[in-house]
Amino acid sequence: MSLLKVQDVVTAYGKIEALKGVSLEVAQGSITCLLGPNGAGKTTLMMSIAGILRPRRGAILFGGEDIAGRAPHAIVARGVALVPENRLVFPSMTVLENLHAGAYQRGDKKTIAEDLEKMFGRFPPLKERAAQQAGTLSGGEQQMLAVARALMSRPKLLLMDEPSLGLAPLVVEEIFRIVAELHKDGTTIFLVEQNAHMALKVAEHFYLMEQGKVSFSGTPGALAEDEVIRRAYLGSSKA
Amino acid sequence: MTDLAQSTLDGLFLGSSYALLALGFTLIFGVLRRVNLSFGPAIMFGCYAATWTHLNSGAGLLLLALVTIAGAVLAGAYVERLCFAPHRGGSAIAAMVASFALWMQFEELVSIALPRHIYDFPPLYAGASLSLGALSLRAESLVMLFAAIAVCAFLWWILYRTRFGVAVRAVIDQPQAAQLAGISVPRIFMLTFALASAIGGLAGFLTAASHEQVTPMLGMWFTLKGLLAMMLGGLGSLPGAVLGGLALGLLEAHSQWFFGPQTRDLIAYALLFVLLAARVPWMTTRSAS
């Protein structure tokens, strides 16, 4: 049962098509990973799903409803949250205010307070720095905050655009531990990742995107078997 | 010494009206990253709506204040729809030039409705000035100062204590992330415009009532003073807008006292020029709310 179905999506910047007819599916309850070189269109796809970019053609079905071209806040309301590339926390706002911003569409103060406690339990550094401006956090802490902010909207589908970008290896492991935990709690996760070694440990299905098109789709096993992909993404030695 | 104290006092009162104008400008600039040249003319439109009401009815001051604010908000919403909503994320210059076109519209509109160059506006307080030892102060000035303080407190409460305030600051800080957090940015734009216009409308009413007259030139006056105070305080900073407004008021009052009334604006603009040319850090780097 797929929660997200992207069908033949074309997104362009002016005359240049960054997505040239992308189709893929994310199964309910899965961790699905999108690999690909820089400039392949991975971020463009994430932005198109989240509604920041408007696809020129094609359909994006979320739970059966076409959300392509809807406003970002309407897409959040349906249960899709994107943790953007480079985190994009609100730097001059406190950690607590960042989390409140994530819960913007929710009215019930009681469940928001419960979720805040949950986030502080899951991300202890955020609790320590709750009153601190988000711009003063370290990269890893900002990534935690970006993930927690997205979770505050109680998404059914969590999109993550390169959560390990620019982080130290230990912090990357921490982030992936969190991804695995969220998955265990039932959140469906669609992840863009350059760090294929880490992604192989958690993801159940892989897509490879090159030059605006999906060029591979398969399980971690099939991915590791593929000679070309192994060379490009996992180094030449057999994993 | 008394003269110096008197002109400092005058400057603070004058500056508190500039602070209100700068706050309105800063809200719009911070949220949209656009300069709205029609900010002043929209306020002037509100003043004329009140003048028209005054001429055609026996409306009291409170009602005239509300008419001014409502007129400014209505005109502000018109500016937002026509100039800023279509250019969202697009050209900043296009939006600014469009807002200049609406400035001309507002001036023409009020001149058609009320064609004389100057109309009387009822004063806030008809009695004599109060005296404080050797210093004298007008009642309007005190009202202006208290209004500025009250608006600052109210704005602070809205921005730092409400859900709407979190959304406004999120849009100022990181517009794309605000969208991803589920905040409807177009809606925040519209509400920010309305809030800024209401603050401007209040400043407009107090200014018209303390000058006891309105003219179509008020539009330019509001825009220039607000813009100047906003730039002095550092683009996009709300506390900076208040400080910039007060600084401009003090500067004008003191230069008037030292060099005579003709030099008042000259010195203010010369200072702005020097500060911009010297690229003082607080004016060139945008500090967030």
Confidence of residue A235 (pLDDT cuts 50, 70, 90): low
| pLDDT for the residue B285 | 53
Contact B50, B222 (CB under 8 A): no
Of B283 and A210, the structure prediction assigns the larger pLDDT to A210
B85 touches chain A (CB under 8 A): no
Beta bridge partners of A207: A34, A217
pLDDT (tens digit, 9 = 90+) per residue, A169-193?
A: 888 998 899 899 999 999 999 999 9
B166 chain-A contacts, CB cut-off 8 A:
93, 97, 100-101, 104
| pLDDT for the residue B41 | 97
What is the separation of C-alpha B2 from the centre of its chain, rounded to a whole number of angstroms? 30
| pLDDT for the residue B284 | 58
Please determine, for residue A237, whether its predicted confidence score (pLDDT) is greater than 50: no
Residue of B nearest to A48 (CA): B180
Confidence of residue B287 (pLDDT cuts 50, 70, 90): very low
> Checking DSSP bridges between strand A65-66 and strand A80-83, what pairing results, if any?
unpaired
Report CB contact under 8 Å: A104, B169: no
Which amino acid belongs to residue A141? E
B182 chain-A contacts, CB cut-off 8 A:
72-73, 76-77, 102, 104-105, 153
Of B61 and B286, the structure prediction assigns the larger pLDDT to B61
A82 touches chain B (CB under 8 A): yes
A150 touches chain B (CB under 8 A): yes
| pLDDT for the residue B139 | 80
B170 touches chain A (CB under 8 A): yes
Which among B169, B174, B183 is the nearest to A73, CB-wise? Answer: B183
Nearest-Cα distance to chain B for A104, in Å, is 6
pLDDT (tens digit, 9 = 90+) per residue, A53-81?
A: 999 999 999 999 999 999 999 999 999 99
Of B28 and B90, the structure prediction assigns the larger pLDDT to B28
Work out the percent of chain B whose per-residue pLDDT is above 70.
96
List the single best residue of A73, A80, A96 to mutate versus B (max B Cβ within 10 A). A73
Instruction: Give ipTM to 2 decimals.
Output: 0.92
| pLDDT for the residue B89 | 67
Please determine, for residue A208, whether its predicted confidence score (pLDDT) is greater than 60: yes
Q: Which residues contact B123 (CB under 8 A, 6 or more apart)?
A: B140, B209, B210, B212
- Rounded Cα distance, B178 and B159, in Å: 15
Least confident segment among A112-121, B16-25, B205-214, B274-283: B274-283
Of A195 and A117, the structure prediction assigns the larger pLDDT to A117
Residue of B nearest to A146 (CA): B177
Confidence of residue A113 (pLDDT cuts 50, 70, 90): very high
Confidence of residue B157 (pLDDT cuts 50, 70, 90): very high
Which among B176, B181, B186 is the nearest to A102, CB-wise? Answer: B181
Residue of A nearest to B160 (CA): A97
Confidence of residue A26 (pLDDT cuts 50, 70, 90): very high
Average pLDDT (B32-38) is: 89
A90 touches chain B (CB under 8 A): yes
Beta bridge partners of A65: A62
Confidence of residue B289 (pLDDT cuts 50, 70, 90): very low
A143 touches chain B (CB under 8 A): no
Average pLDDT across chain B, whole number: 89
- Rounded Cα distance, B265 and B286, in Å: 26
Which among B166, B288, B289 is the nearest to A101, CB-wise? Answer: B166
Please determine, for residue A37, whether its predicted confidence score (pLDDT) is greater than 50: yes
Contact B175, B88 (CB under 8 A): no
List the single best residue of B176, B180, B286 to mutate versus A (max A Cβ within 10 A). B180
| pLDDT for the residue B3 | 83
A92 touches chain B (CB under 8 A): yes
Average pLDDT (B173-187) is: 94
Residue of B nearest to A51 (CA): B180
Please determine, for residue A143, whether its predicted confidence score (pLDDT) is greater than 80: yes
Residue of B nearest to A148 (CA): B181
Work out the percent of chain B whose per-residue pLDDT is above 90.
60
